[in-house]
Amino acid sequence: MLEVRDLHKAYPIRGGGRVHAVRGVSFEVPTGSTLGVVGESGCGKSTMARMLVGLETPTGGAVLVDGAPYSTGRRPDRRARRRVQMVFQDPHSSLNERFTVGATLREVLAVHKLVPKARRPDRVRELLGQVGLAASTADRYPHELSGGQRQRVGIARALAVDPRILVLDEPVSALDVSVRAEVMNLLIRLRDELALTYVFISHDLSMVRHISDRIAVMYLGRIVELGPWLAVSDRPRHPYTQALHDAVPVADPSAAQGREFDEIRGELPDPAHPPPGCPFHTRCPLVKDACARTDQVLAPVAADHGVACMVVTGQPPEETR
């Protein structure tokens, strides 16, 4: 079980002030399940991902794996860190061009002292097989591979350390549309075969809907909606999620009728100066006076489905400013 409690990250910026990239995010991901995370560019998805895998230290809050705090320590526990691995968006920049695929994977096994040296070539072959690559791929360099093959190597590298949890940050966004489905199917198969837990990040709601058990929607560093995948992707309740949902192109033009929003109005506010109250109120079609004065918290609209919008949930405003 992966647990995130009130996670915060602020970056100091040149000339003073701070960018509030992640502002109080909490969720749980039960073992073997997938949490999809969606939101537009700059909402804090990658910052959160880096904290989940321990590449970044939270400004506040905690990440727990099986109940044990994990990403907080000055002395990171290597065995605990190993359990959570990341797959990056760009398979081009995340692999070392000077090493063959085999050398890259053997290096991971050596650093983590997982497999005796003599058995490493066998383990490399096994890993390549798991991600659907030929054993001969071990002798090739990253530039000799297609985008899809490179991302498979990126997945094999994450799997090399026997992780329990994979944080996948836009893992297919950089790939040709034709290979996206193949890599998605591979990820689903691996999750089910190896009982892995996923946090799957994308800016595209239609991308996460098929792989996720639950979906979290982020806006300006906060989760504004969190619930079962079908409810969030097909019948979203938060005005922001509705806008994301309606922005997904549909083949049938008549289905576009009756949509509430054509597109989200206005610009994403500057994360160095997030608006007070509801972070979405500056762009929201349902905005009320109280929204700018009221901090919104996830309130239940159904079983296991929370929405941080007092207009939708009818929560009485608790004026905080």
Ligand X SMILES: Nc1ncnc2c1ncn2[C@@H]1O[C@H](COP(=O)(O)OP(=O)(O)OP(=O)(O)O)[C@@H](O)[C@H]1O
Please report, as ranges, the residues that interact with ligand X according to CB under 6 A. 11, 19, 21, 39, 41-47, 203, 271
Q: For residue 297, count CB atoms less than 10 angstroms from its CB and return exposed for 0-12, middle for 13-18, buried for 19 or more.
A: middle
Binding at 245: pick from Mg ion, ligand X, none (beta carbon under 5-8 Å per type): none
Listed residue (76, 99, 27) closest to 304, CA to CA: 27
User: For Mg ion, which stretch binds (CB under 5 A), given 46-54, 131-139, 213-221, 253-261?
Assistant: 46-54
Query: In the block, which residue shows the tokens 């207009």?
Result: 311
Binding at 11: pick from Mg ion, ligand X, none (beta carbon under 5-8 Å per type): ligand X
Listed residue (125, 118, 128) closest to 152, CA to CA: 128
- Minimum distance from CB of 23 to ligand X (Å)? 10
Binding of residue 46 to Mg ion (CB under 5 A): yes
Closest to Mg ion by CB, 29 vs 201, is 201
Tell me which amino acid residue 1 is. Answer: M
Binding at 43: pick from Mg ion, ligand X, none (beta carbon under 5-8 Å per type): ligand X
Closest to ligand X by CB, 19 vs 87, is 19
Nearest residue to Mg ion, scored by beta-carbon proximity: 46
- Minimum distance from CB of 75 to Mg ion (Å)? 28
Closest to Mg ion by CB, 28 vs 40, is 40
Binding at 132: pick from Mg ion, ligand X, none (beta carbon under 5-8 Å per type): none
- Nearest-angstrom CA–CA distance, 133 and 14: 45
Listed residue (53, 114, 129) closest to 137, CA to CA: 129
What backbone torsions phi and psi does residue 139 show, to the nearest 5 degrees? Answer: -90, 0
Binding at 44: pick from ligand X, Mg ion, none (beta carbon under 5-8 Å per type): ligand X
What backbone torsions phi and psi does residue 37 show, to the nearest 5 degrees? Answer: -125, 120
Closest to Mg ion by CB, 142 vs 171, is 171
- Minimum distance from CB of 275 to ligand X (Å)? 14
Closest to Mg ion by CB, 46 vs 241, is 46
Closest to Mg ion by CB, 49 vs 109, is 49
- Minimum distance from CB of 130 to ligand X (Å)? 28
- Nearest-angstrom CA–CA distance, 274 and 71: 26
CB of 79 closer than 8 Å to CB of 31: no
- Minimum distance from CB of 48 to ligand X (Å)? 7
- Minimum distance from CB of 288 to ligand X (Å)? 27
Where does the chain have alpha helices with state H? 45-52, 78-82, 101-111, 120-130, 147-159, 177-194, 205-208, 229-234, 239-247, 310-313
User: Which residues are at the interface with Mg ion (CB under 5 A)?
Assistant: 45-46
